[in-house]
Structure 1
Amino acid sequence: MAADGGRRLRIALIASSYAPHIGGVEEHVAQVSRALRSQGHEVEVWSVDRGRRPAASALETPPVRYLPTPLPARTAAALLRYALAGPAAWRRWRAAAREFRPDALVVQCFGPNGVYALRLHRATGIPLMVVSHGETLGDDNGAFARSRLLRDSLRAALAASSAHAAPSRYVLDDLTARFGAGEGTIIPNGVGRMPSFDAPAREQDLLVAVGRLGRMKGFDLLIDAFAGVEHGRLEIVGDGPEREALTQQISALGLGDRVRLLGERDAAGVAERIAAATAVVVPSRSESFGIVALEAWRGGAPLVMTSRGGAAEFIRDGEDGLLVDPEDASALTEALRRMLSDAPLRDQLAAAGLERVKAFSWPRVALLYDMVLRAIVGRRR
């Protein structure tokens, strides 16, 4: 029985990616799986097999299955590869369903994982839930723009699903407008306890940004805006395909002594730089939610947040963060100046953030999943 006395559910969280890869989806799945297990449910993570595994000591519960997800493509060679690999991959998925016997299939960030989950739903009748993390809006690789199979499969999965969810109305509206989804549920992201690290002193005039170095994260916009700030330093934590372009941009603007690309850091390393920051900046061109905002609040750092996307739904401009359009270079520059010069404003935003972040715990997020999943499993009976 679950902790509330209800029936214990067997839940397969079917992720587009998982450890050792680092990112918002991976963190969401890891934390939700732990919280659901703590509530009494049995959970497995089924992740797309990307050829890498974490060290055995680093992979905590729940159990994880890395499953192959080959898809057909247009070239003859690609079709041949799929003809050879597809049947074996499908057998692995069917075996996973037989062995775990899930009550619900929960797709996390639709991609090849969603294509196979939809097929499994059709073959078994196991209820399907689709959780979008903004992959249709913030995809640097253009997977949905390029792949008709992904677009058609997402439409079909939304039509076949018993429920769908997203972290913001921004994402739900896109699923409705472009993929024909009905009414969905907002399930926000959460943030856990502060990881352990040697706490640094809050540094003077230090702006910190965190995220994958991809176009959608808008770090090029931040660097351009920062060039108009007369003093201060900027650190960008993360790695990705735009690293070389950002390095060249920093050099061209003569900012080599003021802007540093720190590379990828683990959770403790990210928290340590946030704890050192005068302010945290999230300059994304599109942001489905913005876990970094919660990490900034948790770390007591004042926040400058993009107004483009879902963050504007939960951040109160001027109260617990400054909302700014990152493509308005002058507005972003002015927001950075304010953060570096206005100590009372920083204190107000940081205090409000520390209070607001209490509402975004992973157990609360898991309770929302619990309610939705109990409803869809109950309808099957």
Structure 2
Amino acid sequence: MRILHVTDVYHPRVGGIEVFVDDLAGRQSARHDVTVLTTTPARRGHDPLPDGPVQVARVPRSTPYGLLAARLPVRLDEYDVVHAHLSVVSPFATLVARRAAAAGLPCVLTVHSMWGGNPAVVRTVRTLSGWSRWPVVWTTVSRAAARDVRSALPGAHVLVVPNAVDVDWWREHAAVPSDERPMTIVAVMRLAGRKRPLELVRALAQVRRSVPADVPLRAVLVGDGPLAGPVAAAVERHQMTDWVELPGYLTRSQIRDLYAEADVHVAPAFRESFGIAALEARAAGLPVVAMRSGGVGEFILDGVEGMLCLDDSEMAHALTHLATRPATRRAMAAHNVAVRPDLDWERVLDETDDAYQQAEVRVSLAPAGRGARRRATSRLRTAALRD
């Protein structure tokens, strides 16, 4: 099968969509012929993996929006399925998906964000793009995100296909509790407003005030982004530089090594559609403290695998509770090490392939005159048999 992933954001930029698309494309390349189409420029004129199995086609950002569809570096009709990845506003992926749907190509649109917090923007994009009329399959990464999409697109065919991590790789160096180090809290995120790093700094300040002075604490906020400067300033303003570290961007291997010496992972975002970093920490054995309102609660069992919170006050209280009750956090860590999460790549690859098959069916059943092609023989089924 020939798959075209379309995304406004991709490596070398780092974020949830960028990481997931890169991982998914790389894993699919063992089964299929995969290309990523993006407007994100390469760094220093080359792609991160120029000799890898995934081809990357980049559209110059200087291309006028009105000419994008005519200047794509790939031919859409050469692909068996077009898989577009959307946030709240993803103009390039939306444009390419609309063109592919109009041409009768099987299309899957994955929503990686929580749309409920931006209803006016979503309504505007829906009106301009004509999403509701497309014969496509919609997927989201969590049930929480699916509710938002179904609300925005009544009658849409929406599947939940979760994100995935290499569970066994993260479990190779599982966290080991120790009394010889400070109780260590780790957060891994893009330092941007939606992830709420400044609110996390304030919550950590509250934790330090609430935890007895003889209980040593350490917090490591991993990541980079537009709020890197304000976060550093907030840490200094709260006089936390002696125990809060800001290492910036770390590789996955470095994060895994950090998790092996940590005690708790915290995810402060209210509208986290999934939470890849939280799942990685859970796979590494760490208890996870996160907000109840997003997708993290769909793979973290409250009180067993971590603690789910309603607001920042509860988040600070949960971190204080785990800092002052080592037996509780160790019991959670022991459970997380013993019980393997099932969100691994084999499952997600199979569910993604199923979404592609459903997209082919949607095209074959689409009314004539709306750009859909009726085909007696499914190219996807033929390709699947060849694979």
Q: TM-score, normalised by structure 2?
A: 0.81
Query: 2 CA distance for matches of 1:196 and 1:359?
Result: 13
Q: How does 1:78-157 map to 2 (within 5 A)?
A: 82=64, 86-87=66-67, 89-93=68-72, 95-98=74-77, 101-110=78-87, 111-134=90-113, 136=115, 150-153=125-128, 156-157=130-131
Query: 1 CA distance for matches of 2:148 and 2:344?
Result: 26
Query: 1 CA distance for matches of 2:243 and 2:200?
Result: 13
Counterpart residue number, 1:222: 200
Query: 1 CA distance for matches of 2:49 and 2:171?
Result: 16
Query: 1 CA distance for matches of 2:158 and 2:355?
Result: 10
Query: 2 CA distance for matches of 1:294 and 1:251?
Result: 30
Counterpart residue number, 1:317: 302
Query: Does the residue aligned with 2:17 lie in a helix, a strand or coil?
Result: helix
1:376 offset after TM fit, Å?
Answer: 2.1
Q: TM-score, normalised by structure 1?
A: 0.82
1:12 offset after TM fit, Å?
Answer: 1.0
Counterpart residue number, 2:190: 212
Deviations 1:290-327 (A, max 9, x none): 11121112222221122121122232101111111243
Structure 1 pair 189/357, CA: closer, same or farther in 2 (3 Å)? farther
1:96 offset after TM fit, Å?
Answer: 2.8
Query: Does the residue aligned with 1:194 lie in a helix, a strand or coil?
Result: helix
Q: Pick one of 4, 15, 25 that aligns with 2:7.
A: 15
Q: Pick one of 156, 159, 168 that aligns with 2:142.
A: 168
Counterpart residue number, 1:242: 227
Q: Which runs of 5+ in 1 are unaligned?
A: 1-8, 71-80
Contact 1:14 1:108 in 2 (8 A): yes
Query: Does the residue aligned with 1:106 lie in a helix, a strand or coil?
Result: strand
1:93 offset after TM fit, Å?
Answer: 2.5
| Structure of greater relative contact order (alpha carbons < 8 Å, 6+ residues apart) | 2
Q: How does 1:297-316 map to 2 (within 5 A)?
A: 297-316=282-301
- Equivalent pairs counted in the alignment come to 350
Query: Does the residue aligned with 1:11 lie in a helix, a strand or coil?
Result: strand
Query: Does the residue aligned with 1:107 lie in a helix, a strand or coil?
Result: strand
Q: How does 1:215-294 map to 2 (within 5 A)?
A: 215-229=193-207, 230=211, 231-294=216-279
Deviations 1:312-350 (A, max 9, x none): 2232101111111243x2x22221122223232222222
Query: 1 CA distance for matches of 2:48 and 2:195?
Result: 31
1:57 offset after TM fit, Å?
Answer: 6.2
Contact 1:176 1:182 in 2 (8 A): yes
Counterpart residue number, 1:338: 321
Counterpart residue number, 1:369: 352
Contact 2:290 2:315 in 1 (8 A): no
Query: 2 CA distance for matches of 1:184 and 1:13?
Result: 18
Query: Does the residue aligned with 1:58 lie in a helix, a strand or coil?
Result: coil
Q: Which runs of 5+ in 2 are unaligned?
A: 365-374, 376-387
Counterpart check, 1:49 vs 2:27: no
Query: 2 CA distance for matches of 1:271 and 1:159?
Result: 44
Structure 1 pair 355/166, CA: closer, same or farther in 2 (3 Å)? farther
Query: 1 CA distance for matches of 2:338 and 2:6?
Result: 33
Query: Does the residue aligned with 2:108 lie in a helix, a strand or coil?
Result: strand
Counterpart residue number, 2:49: 58
Query: 2 CA distance for matches of 1:302 and 1:35?
Result: 28
1:149 offset after TM fit, Å?
Answer: 6.2
Contact 1:218 1:326 in 2 (8 A): no
Identity over aligned residues, as a percent?
26
Contact 1:130 1:157 in 2 (8 A): no
Indicate the larger mover: 194-203 or 350-359. Answer: 194-203
Aligned-partner residue type, residue 24 of structure 1: G
Structure 1 pair 320/106, CA: closer, same or farther in 2 (3 Å)? same
Query: 2 CA distance for matches of 1:157 and 1:354?
Result: 43
Contact 1:130 1:165 in 2 (8 A): yes
Structure 1 pair 200/337, CA: closer, same or farther in 2 (3 Å)? closer
